[in-house]
Structures are given as C-alpha cells and as structure tokens.
Amino acid sequence: MNMRRTSRMCLSVGLAIAHLLLAAVTAQAKDCRTIPSVQHSLQPAGNAAAGGHIGKHIFDVQAPPGLNSSALNNTMYDTTAHWTTLITAFQALVLPHPPQCAVAGGGNVAFILPSADLAQADRVPGYECTAVSAVYAAQCITLSAHSFAPVRYAFVYKYVIPAGVQDGNWILLTAYPYMY
C-alpha cells in the first residue's frame, strides 16, 4: 500500500469517527431554550431564585444578592419590558444551530446571537453601567446617557445543583448585549 493511499484511508477513518462522536453528543443534548427549568429562569424573579443573575444586566431590577463582581462598565438592558421583548423573540426564533445543553448536565453553554437574526422590532437597545451602588457594587445605579444598538446578544446557560440535592437543572445564568 502506498503512502498516499494509507493517508487517505486514515483520514477517512478519522472523519468517520469524528462524525459518530458528534452524532452521539448531539443525541445526548437538547435545545437549552426548551428545558422547563430554563424557561422558569427567564424572568428576573425566577432567575435569581434558581441561582442566575440576569438581574445584574437589567437596570430596573435589583441585582441578586451575593455577586462578587461589579456592574461598573457592564452592558445591560434598561427595562424589564425590553428584556421581555428580547427573550420572547429569542425563545421563538427558529435557529439552525440552537444552544445545546447536555441531558446529563455539564459546563456552561454560551450562545451568541447576532442582532441581525432578530426582527428589527425585537432588537432592544443596550446601555453601559456608569455608576454602581457604594453598598453593593453588583447594583448599577446610573446608565450611560445614550443607548447603543447591540451587534449581538449573549446568553449563558448553566447546570446548577442546589445544596443537598443530588440532581440539578439547567438555567439561564446570565444574558447581556454586546456593544461591539
């Protein structure tokens, strides 16, 4: 057998194995947006109770307690109404490659949505936090004077296992607009 033929055969076998592994992983995952615990975590109150912190990125929502990072210079939404517009549109969007959460749990799943994938009416503005509370730095108290048109939106899902519980659930951990 010559070298060229051996190389092609190894490449073919390698590609076949990669295809099988991808198919196995895909079969063990589902669209994160369809998981009931994720759907329960889409609004600020349910999100904070589940261990998420989307409230840190919505100006008119109290940031959940216990966050160790400052909101200063974070991008955010100005109102819960704008957040609801965006998340409702995102949940309904038919995507060729939606965010995939492993059925058995796992690490964080980050999904970046280009704003161009949304209808114009669903592209909500973003703001930058310019001042935070002296008492709790995770709470933004002043937004930038001017909004920006996000070029993309980030959604991060996390598998959380509450203390004293054996099994966990997927939640929407956080979500925010990208300025650039």
pLDDT for res 27: 56
pLDDT for res 77: 98
CB-CB contact of 142 with 40 (8 Å): no
CB-CB contact of 40 with 141 (8 Å): no
Alpha helices by DSSP H, the chain: 3-27, 36-40, 44-50, 80-92
CB-CB contact of 156 with 178 (8 Å): no
pLDDT for res 14: 39
pLDDT for res 18: 36
| Per-residue pLDDT of the chain in tens (180 residues, 90 and over written 9) | 554 443 333 334 433 333 333 333 445 899 999 999 999 999 999 999 999 999 999 999 999 999 999 999 999 999 999 999 999 999 999 999 999 999 888 889 999 999 999 999 999 999 999 999 999 999 999 999 999 999 999 999 999 988 777 788 999 999 999 988
pLDDT for res 112: 98
pLDDT for res 109: 97
CB-CB contact of 37 with 170 (8 Å): yes
Give pTM, 2 decimals: 0.82
Closest CA relative to residue 76, chosen from 156, 165, 144, 151 = 144
CA distances from 170 to 37, 56, 59, 80, 152 (A): 6, 19, 24, 22, 23
